[in-house]
Amino acid sequence: MPVSKLGRLVKDMKIKSLEEIYLSSLPIKESEIIDFFLGASLKDEVLKMMPVQKQTRAGQRTRFKAFVAIGDYNGHVGLSVKCSKEVATAIRGAIILAKLSIVPVRRGYWGNKIGKPHTVPCKPRPPLMPSLRPTAT
């Protein structure tokens, strides 16, 4: 059952594609909208799971942080981070947040230009050594 106005428009088939939503710059607030358009083609991948700790008076409180990437291998990518007390809850929450943060990406070529565009273009940057980073004075 859609809650937002955009969700009701999608359910009533007034909006036919995800690109219409992006062209009108409407915020996507329900992950079910993404499931409606990209459902079967979506693939998610947990990039990293890491425990994080907070010091309290009673000791340390451990939670788990999940980094998730999601996409449809057709120009839509979403990334998110979620922290929770349990691993499964963190992953599930990160997947939902990644669906809400899906954006269209321009694809290009890496290396030779054979076939259709297949990679996300970006400029390579060398990693900065700690001694070379600019410092605030």
For 125, the 3-state DSSP assignment is: coil
For 56, the 3-state DSSP assignment is: strand
Q: What is the CA radius of gyration of the chain?
A: 19
Q: 22: which residues sit within 8 A by CB, 6+ positions away?
A: 103, 104
pLDDT band with cut points at 50, 70 and 90 for residue 107: confident
DSSP H helices in 48-117: 87-100
pLDDT of residue 123 exceeding 90: no
pLDDT band with cut points at 50, 70 and 90 for residue 80: very high
Give the per-residue pLDDT at 134. Answer: 64
Domain locations in the chain as residue ranges: 5-104, 107-136
**pLDDT tens by residue, 29-66:** 999 999 999 988 999 999 999 999 999 999 999 999 99
pLDDT of residue 75 exceeding 80: yes
Average pLDDT score over the chain? 88
- Per the DSSP assignment, residues forming a β-bridge with 43 are 71
CB 94 within 8 A of CB 82: yes
Two structure tokens written together for 53: 């700790």
Instruction: Indicate the fold that domain 5-104 takes in CATH.
Output: Double Stranded RNA Binding Domain (3.30.160)
